[in-house]
Amino acid sequence: MSFFAATRRRLMDRLWPWLCAASVALSLLMLTALLTLLLVRGLGHFWPATLEEITLRSGDVVAGQAIRETPLPQKAGNERLYFTGNRDIDGASWRWVDVDNITARTTPADLIRLERAPWGDFIGRLESLEVDGQRLTGQAAWDRLTAALALPADRRPAGQLLLITAEGQTLSQPLSTISKALAPNAMLWWQKTRLWGSSVWQFLSEGPRAANTSGGVWPAIFGTVLMVILMSVIVTPFGVLAAIYLNEIAHQNRLTRLVRIGVRNLAGVPSIVYGVFGLGVFVYGIGGTLDTWFFSATLPSPTFGTGGLLWASLTLALLTLPVVIVATEEGLARIPDAQREGAMALGATRLEMLTRVVLPMTVPAMLTGVILAVARAAGEVAPLMLVGVAKLAPQMPVDGEFPYLHLERKFMHLGYHLFDTAFHGEDVQAAMPLVYATALLLVLIVLVLNLTAIFLRHYFRRQRGNEC
């Protein structure tokens, strides 16, 4: 070996570990940046933000929440984006302000923020409240308003609010249209913390409102988890049985190799293709036939001949089937032939050898395939748009009516909810914090599902180690 070749080899031996370490560090850095972005933008949305009142050189007064500041495109200086609300008065809920034009900037304690329907948030001041034949002003009006909003919707009194914007315009607002009232500038830090926790809980436990731009995501959480569980129950036995046949039963010839190649290629097929297949075969084919046989009295309104939870679960099971097959077959291939031969030599039948020796040793590999299947299925959106997901599902797939689990019903999904909120809302800018919060929640759900499968995999590995 020449001097230059030896030097290059020593250099590569020293360089490769550093390159591998740098790749791992870069991956962890990107993952940390992603999670930090979702945490700050998502969970920060629920913190009661300070409301500002600014005065411009022109004399105009603007009240709102400062969102972000960017450089002006054609001149020196910055402009700041404010969420001002009051869409029914100003025609827009957002306003860009040149920072150099601001002459005064304050945070008055009497500025309030009301969440209402149908015009979105109001930012301004509460002049008076008329309720139960009384006209209240000042702190008494605010206390009575918060007490009324704490009651259930069917027990709230009828009333009328007189509101004033920062520009001095008045507005009469029925109490029945108000869902939340905040005075963030007058709140202490512990009050804001308590309200933040309450807002996060409402986001997790309530349904969406205002075309998915406010409210919670509980129906989407429930639909996502239920669909993933059904998909896992369907795909696991089929994937395991197919892997057992390919590795343990079928003759290893050209046809078997072609089947393996086909299975691996199916893993790379775009997910929308599976959605089209599910729509044509499951929904229109099988579902339409079931309607003709068993639900003819309800036609032309379809029961199973339209998208639903069952067809979505089957479509995603078909989508993730190659992943489970490949992972399980690789686990079967790693088991030494001596284990099989020893079981057969002790008098075990082929079935007993498979069920009592080979399959228990392959459980970790099976669960690895399920983990990968869950990770992919939980985030898929394209096929679900064709086979059952809905923007708003009026009925949950599980309720107290027989048969309790209604596989024919449409359902909500966090991935589609995120897509719809980000691109199909009336006010995309206002919905962006909810997009980050929903994305964070989807990541956490996938993480919890994966950790559950990983825990089971480690449990079975320990059990196998104890038996050995």
Instruction: Identify the pLDDT of residue 314.
Output: 94
Coil, helix or strand at residue 167: coil
Q: Which amino acid is at 12?
A: M
pLDDT in tens, the chain (468 residues): 566 667 777 777 778 888 888 899 999 999 899 889 999 888 888 999 999 999 999 889 999 999 988 988 777 788 999 999 898 888 888 999 999 999 999 999 999 999 988 888 899 999 999 988 889 998 999 999 999 998 888 888 888 999 999 988 999 999 989 988 999 999 999 999 999 999 999 888 888 876 666 778 899 999 988 999 999 999 999 999 999 998 888 888 888 889 888 888 888 888 899 999 999 999 999 998 998 888 888 888 888 888 889 999 999 999 999 999 998 998 888 888 888 888 888 888 888 888 888 888 888 888 888 888 888 888 888 899 889 888 887 778 888 888 888 888 899 998 888 888 877 767 777 788 888 998 999 888 888 877 887 787 777 777 766 655
Q: Which amino acid is at 231?
A: M
Instruction: Identify the pLDDT of residue 211.
Output: 65
Instruction: Identify the pLDDT of residue 422.
Output: 79
Token pair of 168, please? Answer: 């001095």
Q: Give the Cα separation of 325 and 366 in Å (integer).
A: 8
Q: Where are the domains positioned within the chain?
A: 52-106, 113-186, 218-467
Instruction: Identify the pLDDT of residue 158.
Output: 85
Token pair of 276, please? Answer: 């089209």
Q: Give the Cα separation of 185 and 49 in Å (integer).
A: 8
Burial grade of 124 (CB within 10 A; 0-12, 13-18, 19 or more)? buried
Q: What are phi and psi of 215, to 5 degrees?
A: 85, -160
Q: What torsion, rounded to 10 degrees, do the Cα atoms 226, 389, 280, 255 define?
A: -40
Q: Give the Cα separation of 313 and 397 in Å (integer).
A: 13
Instruction: Identify the pLDDT of residue 77.
Output: 82
Instruction: Identify the pLDDT of residue 366.
Output: 86
Q: Beta strands 78-83 and 61-71: pairing type? A: antiparallel
Place of tokens 């027989």: 402
Q: Which long-range contacts (CB under 8 A, 24 or more apart) does 192-195 make?
A: 192/47, 192/48, 195/48
Instruction: Identify the pLDDT of residue 465.
Output: 62
Q: Where are the alpha helices (DSSP H) in 131-281?
A: 138-149, 189-205, 218-244, 254-266, 271-277
Token pair of 340, please? Answer: 């099989």
The answer to whether residues 166 and 53 touch, using CB atoms and an 8 Å cutoff, is yes
Token pair of 200, please? Answer: 């996060």
Q: Is the domain 218-467 a CATH 2.70.170.10 member?
A: no
Q: Give the Cα separation of 199 and 201 in Å (integer).
A: 5
Q: What are phi and psi of 428, to 5 degrees?
A: -65, -35
